[in-house]
Every structure is written in structure tokens, then in C-alpha cells.
């Protein structure tokens, strides 16, 4: 039997192919040079697990990869990062999910994605015996995974709460669709909901981050944090409403920044911090991620995080 872990990270697992920033997108037939092309771990569940381990938190991943070279590479990379992969499912009938991430200097990232094994992941793949022994259950990539249904996920989240664990939910919205019905019954079982403002706009048809957070809170999520990239974040909870700026750091690659924020916020939960404290840690870990190419490369280790928090302040406004 696997040892208990602090955080069980379920959801999307991806092999990422990431370019360092290039001068411009190539025209048809044109070759554009990049300083580096990096094959690395990607996907919400894998990223958050690696980031947490960097912070000194024990974490396990739950998800699906293919029985192919990329699945083996992802599993090996996770093991090298000291992430527990004992609940990782290897499927021979599908390929490992992959994303090509193109960084252009001065522009937002561009993504080319193949869904692969993430498409067959189900709530039933989350082992209840592991849920009963973790302190936080995190699910990343909900709404993108078509085989993960709210009615099957609710008992898993309820089991986590009965065992005393916090439930944290993140989403991915690939494009316009009717997403709200997949959240309405689930959010009352969620302790912390972490969409970004673009995802929230696709779900709600509302572009104001504060109103987005308020609406998700009304739907039942205990605490909602809407992240806005370099424009900070907005939090709405039962007894707190606040708006946070961002820590200013050199920007190289935004890939994985939202997952790093989630890992930092979870670390704050585990440390018993209040919402403001969790925002500070989440914002700091998120900022650390954008300093290097790749989803987890630049993320702080614990001593770096503590030094950064001691040397830098974050503007937070109570609303």
C-alpha cells in the first residue's frame, strides 16, 4: 500500500514540448531558430505535484498516460522530481497527451494540443483509499476531461471532506461551450475554486473578475480565487473579499504559472494560513514559475520562497 501523501493531485498529465521565446511566428516554409526546445512535464496535475514537492510537500499524481515513449518519459520525470506515481494509470489503447507550446517574444503563448490519454480519465480512477489519507485533494483540468462527470466526482469530493481533507478544483476551457451545468452541482463540494478570468468568462459570460468570483461563490464554492495573469487575482470567500496585485519578476515564459499559483495556495492551506496568507504564497510561487521556460523549471524551492516572501511585499486590497 502506498504511503499517505499531503496532496493527491488528480487530472491532466501531459508531455510538453516548449520553445524558448522566438522573434516571430514562422511564415509558411520559414525556419525560425529558438535557443532551446524543452521536453518537460505538463498538465495541471503533474505541474502542481512537482511544484508542491519543490516546496517540501509530499504529493502524488492520479491520471492516465499512454504505453508509449512519452508516457515513460513523463513517469520517469515525475519520479525524478520525487512525485509519487503509484496511482498513475498506463493505458495501451491511447497515446500520452502532448502539447506544443510556442513562445513568441512580447506575446502570449500559443498551444497545439493532442488530448490522448486524458480523454479516458474518469473520477473512478481516483483511489478512495488515497483520498481518505490525504490532506488536500486537488483536481486540475476539469471541464476539459470529457469522461470526468460531476455526478461521479461528487462522491469522491464528499469522501475527501469526510476524511478532513480540503478539496481544490481547477478547470481548463478549450473554447466556447456550455460549461456551467457541469459546475453547478459540483461547486457546493469545493473548498477552493481556482479559475482564471478567461476561463471564468467562457463559463459565465461575465468579464469582470470580481463578479465572476462572486457568482461562483454564490453557486456554492467556499472560496473562489480568479487569477488574471500579470493583473493579479481576486478572492471571494465567506468572510473575505480582496484584490491582490502581482509580484514583479523577470518574465520569460508564462506556461504553468496558474498551476504554480495553485500549488502555492495549497501550500498556504497546509500551513494553516488565512486567505490573505494563501494569496501571498500562491502569488509568489506563481511569479517564480514565469522566470524560466517550462512549467515547473523556475518554481521556488522552500528556502527560496521564504527568502522571497521576506524580501518582497504584495499589495492586497480589502474590498
Note the pLDDT of residue 310: 96
CA–CA dist 265, 282 (Å, integer):
4
pLDDT value at 1 more than 50: no
Q: In the sheet that 7-11 helps form, which strands lie side by side, from edge to edge?
A: 84-91, 59-66, 7-11, 136-142, 166-171, 192-193, 223-227, 233-236, 241-244, 316-318
**Torsions phi, psi for 221 (to 5 deg):** -65, 130
Question: pLDDT grade, residue 2 (50/70/90)?
Answer: low
In the chain, how many domains are there? 1
Average of per-residue pLDDT across 19-47: 93
Residue 316's H or E segment, with its range, is strand 316-318
Residue 14 CB partners (closer than 8 Å, separation 6+): 41, 42, 43, 46, 74, 96, 97, 98, 99, 113, 118
Report residue 254's pLDDT band, with 50, 70 and 90 as the boundaries.
confident
Write the pLDDT tens digit of every residue in 35-87: 999 888 899 999 999 999 999 999 999 999 999 999 999 999 999 999 999 99
Stretch 161-167: mean pLDDT, rounded? 98
- The pLDDT of residue 299: 96
Residue 73 belongs to a domain: yes
Three-class SS of 154-200: HHHHHHHHHCCCEEEEEECCCCCCCCCHHHHCCHHHCCEECCEHHHH
pLDDT class of 106 with cuts at 50, 70, 90 = confident
Share of the chain above pLDDT 90, in %: 87
Q: State the chain's mean pLDDT as an integer.
A: 95
- Higher local confidence (pLDDT), 39 or 185: 185
Residue 136 lies in a domain: yes
Mean predicted confidence (pLDDT) in 150-175: 96
Look at residue 31 and tell me if it is in a domain: no
Judge whether 4 lies within some domain: no
Read off the pLDDT of each residue in 172-191 and give the average, rounded to a whole number: 95
Residue 41 phi, psi dihedral angles, 5° rounding: -75, 145
pLDDT computed for residue 124 by the predictor: 96
Report if residue 106 sits inside a domain. Answer: yes
In a domain, 75, yes or no: yes
Average pLDDT over residues 26-41: 93
Asked whether the predicted pLDDT for residue 3 surpasses 80, the reply is: no
| pLDDT band, residue 159 (cuts 50/70/90) | very high
pLDDT class of 185 with cuts at 50, 70, 90: very high
Q: Is residue 67 part of a domain?
A: yes
Going by pLDDT thresholds of 50, 70 and 90, the confidence category of residue 227 is very high
Grid cell, residue 237, equals 470567500
Tell me whether residue 29 is in a domain. Answer: no
Q: Sign of dihedral through CA atoms 107, 281, 223, 135?
A: positive
CATH code: domain of residue 240: 3.40.1190.20
Its pTM stands at 0.93
Over residues 254-267, mean pLDDT: 94
Give the model's pLDDT for residue 232.
Answer: 95
Residue-number span of the structural domain to which 228 is assigned? 11-24+36-318
Q: Is 79 helix (H, G, I), strand (E, B) or coil?
A: helix
Amino acid at each position: 500500500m502506498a504511503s499517505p501523501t499531503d496532496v493527491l493531485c488528480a487530472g491532466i498529465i501531459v508531455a510538453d514540448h516548449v520553445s524558448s521565446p522566438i522573434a516571430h511566428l514562422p511564415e509558411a516554409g520559414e525556419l525560425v531558430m529558438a535557443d532551446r526546445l524543452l521536453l518537460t512535464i505538463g498538465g495541471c496535475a503533474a505541474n502542481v505535484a512537482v511544484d508542491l514537492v519543490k516546496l517540501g510537500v509530499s504529493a502524488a499524481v492520479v491520471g492516465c498516460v499512454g504505453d508509449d515513449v512519452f508516457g515513460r518519459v513523463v513517469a520517469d520525470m515525475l519520479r525524478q522530481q520525487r512525485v509519487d506515481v503509484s496511482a498513475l494509470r498506463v493505458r495501451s489503447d491511447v497515446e500520452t497527451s502532448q502539447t506544443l507550446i510556442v513562445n513568441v517574444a512580447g506575446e502570449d503563448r500559443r498551444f497545439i494540443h493532442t488530448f490522448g490519454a486524458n480523454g479516458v480519465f474518469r473520477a473512478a480512477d481516483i483511489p478512495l483509499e488515497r483520498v481518505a489519507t490525504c490532506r488536500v485533494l486537488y483536481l486540475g483540468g476539469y471541464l476539459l476531461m470529457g469522461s470526468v462527470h460531476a455526478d461521479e466526482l461528487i462522491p469522491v469530493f464528499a469522501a475527501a471532506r469526510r476524511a478532513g481533507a480540503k478539496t481544490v478544483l481547477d478547470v481548463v476551457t478549450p473554447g466556447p461551450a456550455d460549461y456551467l451545468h457541469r459546475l453547478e452541482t459540483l461547486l457546493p463540494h469545493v473548498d477552493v475554486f481556482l479559475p482564471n478570468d478567461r476561463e471564468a468568462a467562457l463559463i459565465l459570460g461575465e468579464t469582470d473578475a470580481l463578479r465572476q468570483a462572486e457568482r461562483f461563490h454564490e453557486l456554492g464554492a467556499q472560496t473562489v480565487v480568479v487569477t488574471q495573469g500579470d493583473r493579479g487575482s481576486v478572492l471571494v470567500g465567506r468572510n473575505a473579499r480582496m484584490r491582490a496585485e502581482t509580484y514583479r519578476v523577470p518574465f520569460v515564459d508564462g506556461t504553468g504559472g496558474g498551476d504554480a499559483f495553485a500549488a502555492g495556495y495549497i501550500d498556504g492551506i497546509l500551513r494553516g494560513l488565512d486567505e490573505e496568507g494563501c494569496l501571498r504564497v500562491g502569488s509568489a510561487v506563481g511569479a517564480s514559475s514565469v522566470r524560466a521556460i517550462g512549467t515547473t523549471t523556475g518554481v521556488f524551492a522552500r528556502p527560496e520562497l521564504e527568502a522571497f516572501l521576506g524580501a518582497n511585499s504584495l499589495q492586497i486590497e480589502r474590498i
